[in-house]
Amino acid sequence: MNDIRVFINIVLSTVFIISLFTECMNSNMKPKVVKSQDSIPKEYMDYVTIKKPELPTVKSLLHEDSLLLSVYIDERITKYLDFEEKQATVDFIKSSEFGDAPYTSIGQIDRELHKIINWNSNVPCSSLELAHGFDDIFLNRLMFHLSNSLTFRYNLPLTTSVEGNRGRLSVLQTPDRKYNLYNYCDTGWGTITSYSYINILQYKDSSGNIRYNWWPDHSKDFDGDYYALHQFTYKGETHYVFLSCNNGGSSMSWNYCMEIATIDNGRMIFHANFFPEGNYEPHTVSELFKNKQGEWDERKVPAYDVYICGIDHGEELDVEYDPATKTVSYNEYYEFEANGKGKEGKFRRAKWSLVMPK
């Protein structure tokens, strides 16, 4: 009986020793769980990580600020802006105090547009979406003022003087002073300069009201910035000559084009029959439109521009149009055999004139 008791005591002692050993081993392998940074012994500081509770941070605009932002910026751009960018834009809009009633001073209009385009063009911007947002704000305010007769009669010297890293506005007027052509060029930013153009025709309708129309995108194969307007009369009707320059993909590549159109109550009617034979080749461009289902779709439509010349070396092409002779002249690049040394290239003066159909 005594032997049995001794055996049981030995077994219990062995189990206790094993369990104690296991606990000690586990305690050395696992980091201690502590509730406070202050209670961590120095010897455990390198092994124990205390996670601070992550409090929810709510960064959303006030409802009225969101509504204000939606007035000036397309929602497709707004959704990519972070909270700080949205708030900065709202603050800018509020500080600008845009008015809803027609302005009575061309200086007031000019200063307002200049403030927007100057910020967008000269302040470094790390967000492409934010830059496009300010493009939207500028175009929104420009179109608001284009129905004001002051912008039809007077220039915008401050706004058109901005030559920054992004965005510039130029305004051309037809010789008969019946139409203004507003050209907004977004020069982009970054390592490679990119260009996009928006053209708006401002005119006075048959009732004497000032109106504007977006320039039809499908009129030309090369989207470009208009730099000169001329006109001539054919069979008693005024025809307008539009010269445009398009960036071909880099800051040293350019294409020059010409279009001829009559204008009927702000509607462009293009004519290709004045170009010499062989200069105009019928072609089409893609145009976006809304189908019967209300969705954006693409279709091919005729284009009416004529390609004058282009270069990708950065040289000056010196394109000129003489309204008296209706002649366009330019520097043309051509290649020739150089005394058995292979082909070489240089520029020569070229020209052609418009043809008046009988």
Tens-digit pLDDT profile for residues 192-251: 455 667 889 999 998 999 999 988 755 565 667 888 999 999 999 999 999 988 765 555
At 247 the pLDDT is: 66
At 3 the pLDDT is: 53
Tens of pLDDT, residue by residue over 302-343, are 888 888 887 766 567 788 999 999 999 998 877 777 777 777
Structure tokens at 151: 């912008």
At 83 the pLDDT is: 83
In 59-90, which positions are buried (b, 16+ CB within 10 angstroms) versus exposed (e)? eebeeebeebbeebbeeebbeebeeebbbebb
In the chain, domain spans: 2-44, 216-358
Are the CB atoms for 210 and 200 separated by under 8 Å? no
Helix %, strand %, coil % for the chain, to 5? Answer: 30, 30, 40
DSSP 16-80: HHHHHHHHHHHHHHSPPP-S-GGGS-GGGTTT--PPPP---------HHHHHHHHHHS-HHHHTT
Q: Which parts of the chain sit beneath pLDDT 50?
A: 6, 8, 11, 15-16, 18, 20-58, 189-192
CA dist 24 and 34 (Å) reads: 18
Q: Which of 159, 99, 291, 305 is nearest to 220 (CA)?
A: 305
At 156 the pLDDT is: 94
Only one residue has tokens 């040293």, namely 252
The residues pairing with 245 across neighbouring beta strands, listed in sequence order, are 225, 256
What global pTM score does this model have? 0.73
Alpha helix locations (H) across 247-311? none
At 285 the pLDDT is: 80
**How many other CB atoms are found less than 10 A from the CB of residue 229?**
17
